[in-house]
Every structure is written in structure tokens, then in C-alpha cells.
Chain A
């Protein structure tokens, strides 16, 4: 790699630029759209030149969409809030349950431990629709339909297996001798878990938590079926922009920008952990 010619460097630069453009283009286009009115968006041929407007964002934040067909109430900000509550709540619970469980699976071979762990993983394989119908019936029966608790519970299907399996690998990578040494020094198993296992698995826990957050945030189908308007996250709420008077492209674009902003910010902040954390085994203590 050190002895590359100028030509190779150029070619590589061009290839990278192409890839980046390909992946970034939709996002750039969405950001541009969010500052335009429906008229300029739908103009043919499309143009990069337009007078930017904040009207889309204004409409979203005030919750009043004024269109030529009349005034439409939209609940985007409460949707955004719902997304935050559901994602943060489910990741928190998944971490509280999943990290100790991952530790148990990593350190103790008990009867049926592999089967239980695999069953939990299989929740990720199953198509969500498979569980949705029975779940809807149960939830109506239990009074959990259309509640945060019920949704956060269902979101565990997404978050828990992810956290369990990623974090388990990290715990397995920690030499048991290090933990034995701490116990022999006179510390209880709980202190050993807290002072040795948790800090050493932190990159993995951070990476798993972030991934789980992104999956939870992006979830559509569970919330669509199980939540009514006031509990809907942004992914479902965005459907409201498909109105009788037409599709509000400008508002959709602004809504998308606002809804990807938190995950993007979080991913950028945790990038260090992600790269470190996902390269499993490369970060042995």
C-alpha cells in the first residue's frame, strides 16, 4: 500500500467519490427537498437552484399544515417524542435484561442454556407479521394494545436478541482467569461482574446498545399495527403526509431529516465505539 503510484491514488479517489455519492445522494436530495415547496420539488426538469424556505419545518413544529385544500393538523412532534420514548425505553430495558443474561450465557453452562439463547436469537429470524396477529389479540385482551409499555415490550423482540448475542461474545472474550483473580482477591461475584466484566465489555455493550436503538427507532410494522395515533412513532406518523389533497413531499422530506437526525447524531458520537466494538475479538483486554 505504501508504494502506490499517483495513478492508483487518483483511481482510488475517484472510486471512493463514486461510492460516497451513490450512498449519500438520497440523503443530500432529501435535505435539499426539505427546504423547498411542493411546487419547486415537482418542477420539471428538477433544478438545484431554488429559494430555500423554512415553511416545511415550521409546519412540522407548529403542527399546522396549511395547504390549498385547507388546514391539516399533524402530530409530527408528538410522533418524534413517541419514537424517543419507545426507543430509549426499549433499549434501556433490553440492556438491563440482556447484559446480565448475556453474562450468564457466556459464563455458565446450564441445562438448556444453548437452546434458550438460540430461541431468543430466532426472534430475529421470524418475520414480524408471524407474531403480530396473535400479539394483537393478546394485547387487546391484556389491555396492552396502544400503550407505551406494550410497545416497549414488543420492541424487546428486536432489541433483546441483538444485545444478548453481541454482548455475549464480548463476555466470552474476557479471560475467565481475570474474573477468578478478582474473586480470589476477595470480591463477591456481583462485584466481579460490576468491576471487571462490565467495564471490559463496555465497547461491545455500547455498540450493541446503539444498534438496538437504531433498529428500534426504524421499526415500522409493530408500531403500525399495535399503536394508534397518539402512540405512533415517526416512521408511522410520516404516513399522515399522504393526504387527500396530494403527497406533501416537502414536509415528508423535512420530517425525514428531523427523524434521522437523532440516530445520525448518536451514530457519529458513538462511531469510535462502533468501529472498536464491531471488530469482535480485536479488542481483547
Chain B
């Protein structure tokens, strides 16, 4: 893997009409890495990409590309490839001319231009529509043309603004499989904006989560999934969504536990300091399973409804105290019919959040390890 400074953002802040859209965002994407920038709409993702591309200027902070400060560098000299969410194809030019525009700007010869366009068009399977005008292309072809245009100049910095949001489900699925290979080939520093957590998990080497202009968490897909920094992040990742239950952790002297309908769900020993605080316990639906009555640690519930998804079946159950929980199991495995049942809890991946701040309560040993890691 090629390494080296790709995209570096240092404390980037942007305000529009007094409203802070980006608030001290710092992020580094080295050459060859793909970071999925994930967040709800209005979080500032597109603004961030535009700041990097240079079409808007930050109010404070620094954008560095390839190790160089970009403060006075206009967009055409930044060596960035960008695919826009709305494609932004040049309507009066053919697909070929659209894709060729980065090569044209660098005054490539006609032959080199043709070769460059055809290579990238073949890769994206649009070589048969190169003569068409953008309005004659299907959405999928438009999206690929926009992507091809971003790739044609072989940029070291690749900015992809939700390129799959306007294409149909089948193509989106195909592209989600193809894109990682494509991006690996390019070896660029890639920032991939998406609102789809599955896309973020599938495409990102790391995921950066942006919410209301702040980076909430940066980490590998597994980090984000199993150790979400906030309740908000936990809720955004995972389908069906995580079960969030209000608890006040207690302790029996040896280890802390959360009381769920008279049953004790054991917590990480590092969470002793959370005892007595109002918390929210996050339990992934796949950490719950139906068990026979009488199993140790089983929570009695009433089954309300069942939704078979393709590969898994999701059951909505209600505890004795009226809390709704989702239980997921692989489709085809036996499950309960309507009525009373029992749910067993695998608490090894349970996460605990502070109820007032919404931040994850990091287990103590973990936190110590973190500190040591930071110091090293």
C-alpha cells in the first residue's frame, strides 16, 4: 500500500450566515486509504468535501493535500477528483467529453485522451455510451460517467459525494462490490460521503462520523459498530437498530450488572464507576436470542410481531415492564410463536451510555489502555 500524506484537515471551521456548519474538524486520510464520511443530512459532509476541493474557503483551520497547505491554491490546481451527488455532468457535452475534461485541462494529446477515457470507461462499463449526451443516459450511467470523470485524471485525492444515492438498488449493490477494488487500484486518498451505514461499513477502511458539524467518532467499521462513541452513532449503525434500555447499573460487589426485568445482565468489570448513574444500555438485536423458560439469566417477554427479512428474522417483544426490544435471529432457525417467551442476553458486546450526555461510558481498563496508547 502506498502511504504518504493525502488529505489532512486541521481544525477546519466553516460558518454560513452566522451558522456554524463545520466546527473544528480534524481528519487525516493517508494515500491509499478510503475513509467513509458518514452522517445524517445537514451534518456538513458536502461542505467538507467542497472545502477540500477548494470551491469554498474555510473560515478557520487548514486544508493540506499531499503535505501542502492549500490556502491560496485554486480548485483547478489541487489535483482533486470529485464526483458530485447530483452528477453535475456538463449537459452540452457528450459522455466522452465529460470524462475527458480533466485530461483536456492538462492538454493531453487527442490520442492520449481517447486512451485515458476508454480505459476508465471500460472499467466502469460505460464504453458503449461514450457518444451519448448526458440526458440520454440512465441514472446509473450518469453516475458512472461522473465517477469516470473524477477518476480520469488519476487524482491523488478522490472525493466521492454519495455517488450511489441516486441509482437503483441493484446497481448500488453491484457498485458497492466493485468500488473497493476500484479504489484500491487507484491508491488515492479517498473520502467517500454516504448516508447509508452499510455502504460506509463496506467501503471505508475507516469511518468518520460527522454530526452537526463535528466529528463524533473516527474508527474502523468494527470500532464504530461495537464501540459507538454516542447513542446517536449506535442508533445510526445497524439494522434492525440497537435496543436502548434505560438502566441504572448496580453491583453485587464482584462485578456491575444492569437489572432487566428482575434479571441481571452482567456488565464489563471496568464499568464499576458507572454504578448508580442513570445510563442507557445498548444491546444489538443479534446479541439476544430466544431461550427455553428457566434458562439462567433469561428475561420473560411477550412476543408481539415478527418481520422476516431476507437473511434474518426480527422479532418485536415486550418485557414485563413494557419495554419494547428487538431480537434478531438467522432466518430458518426456530423461533417462538406469539405469546410468552424468554430472551437470553449475550452481554459481551453490550455498550453503556451516559443518559444525560449520550456519550459511551468507556470501561476503566479500556480507558487505561487508551491512555497508554495515546501516550505511546
Q: What is the interface of chain A, defined by CB distance below 8 A to chain B? A: 175, 177-178, 180-189, 191, 196, 199-200, 285
Are A178 and B105 in touch, CB under 8 angstroms?
Answer: no
User: CB within 8 A of B75: which of A183, A191, A199?
Assistant: A183
Are B149 and A178 in touch, CB under 8 angstroms?
Answer: no
Are B55 and A180 in touch, CB under 8 angstroms?
Answer: yes
Known contacts A180-B75, A199-B92, A200-B92; A185/B105 CB under 8 A: yes
Q: Is B256 part of the contact surface with A, judged by Cβ < 8 Å?
A: no
Q: A184-B78, A200-B91 are in contact. List 16 more A-B contacts (CB 8 A).
A: A175-B86, A177-B86, A178-B88, A180-B88, A181-B89, A181-B149, A183-B75, A183-B76, A184-B53, A184-B55, A186-B76, A186-B153, A187-B76, A188-B74, A188-B76, A189-B74
Binary A-proximity of B202-224 (CB < 8 A = 1, otherwise 0): 00000000000000000000000
Q: Is B271 part of the contact surface with A, judged by Cβ < 8 Å?
A: no
Known contacts A183-B75, A183-B76; A175/B88 CB under 8 A: yes
CB-CB contacts below 8 Å: B27-58 with A = 50, 53-55
B70 to chain A, nearest CB (A): 13
Residue of A at shortest CB range from B101? A185
Residue of A at shortest CB range from B79? A186
Q: What are some 15 contacts across the A-B interface (CB < 8 A)?
A: A180-B55, A180-B75, A181-B84, A183-B76, A184-B75, A184-B81, A185-B76, A185-B101, A185-B102, A185-B149, A186-B153, A187-B101, A187-B105, A199-B92, A200-B91
Interface centre among A180, A188, A200 (most CB of B within 10 A): A180
Are A178 and B91 in touch, CB under 8 angstroms?
Answer: yes
A195 to chain B, nearest CB (A): 8
B101 partner residues in chain A, CB cutoff 8 A: 182, 185-187
B62 to chain A, nearest CB (A): 20
Q: Is B106 part of the contact surface with A, judged by Cβ < 8 Å?
A: yes
Cα separation A185 to B102 with both chains bound (whole Å): 4
Residue of B at shortest CB range from A191? B105
Residue of B at shortest CB range from A200? B92
User: CB within 8 A of B105: which of A175, A180, A186?
Assistant: A186
A106 to chain B, nearest CB (A): 16
Known contacts A182-B101, A185-B149, A186-B102; A285/B91 CB under 8 A: yes
7 closest pairs, A vs B, by CB? A186-B105, A285-B91, A177-B88, A181-B88, A185-B101, A185-B102, A183-B75
Cα separation A285 to B102 with both chains bound (whole Å): 21
Are B55 and A183 in touch, CB under 8 angstroms?
Answer: yes
Binary A-proximity of B52-78 (CB < 8 A = 1, otherwise 0): 011100000000000000000011111
Residue of B at shortest CB range from A196? B90
CB-CB contacts below 8 Å: B104-131 with A = 104-106
User: CB within 8 A of B106: which of A178, A182, A186, A199?
Assistant: A186
A276 to chain B, nearest CB (A): 14
Known contacts A182-B101, A183-B74, A185-B153; A285/B80 CB under 8 A: no
Are A177 and B84 in touch, CB under 8 angstroms?
Answer: yes
Residue of B at shortest CB range from A186? B105
B80 partner residues in chain A, CB cutoff 8 A: 184
Q: Is B280 part of the contact surface with A, judged by Cβ < 8 Å?
A: no
Cα separation A196 to B88 with both chains bound (whole Å): 11
Q: Is B82 part of the contact surface with A, judged by Cβ < 8 Å?
A: yes
A192 to chain B, nearest CB (A): 9
Residue of A at shortest CB range from B91? A285
B90 partner residues in chain A, CB cutoff 8 A: 178, 181-182, 196
B82 partner residues in chain A, CB cutoff 8 A: 180-181, 184
B74 partner residues in chain A, CB cutoff 8 A: 183, 188-189
B63 to chain A, nearest CB (A): 14
Residue of B at shortest CB range from A195? B90
Residue of A at shortest CB range from B78? A184
Cα separation A200 to B91 with both chains bound (whole Å): 8
B86 partner residues in chain A, CB cutoff 8 A: 175, 177
Cα separation A186 to B90 with both chains bound (whole Å): 14
A175 partner residues in chain B, CB cutoff 8 A: 86, 88
Residue of B at shortest CB range from A177? B88
A189 partner residues in chain B, CB cutoff 8 A: 74
A282 to chain B, nearest CB (A): 14
A200 partner residues in chain B, CB cutoff 8 A: 91-92
Interface centre among A175, A178, A185, A199 (most CB of B within 10 A): A185
A206 to chain B, nearest CB (A): 15
Residue of B at shortest CB range from A199? B92
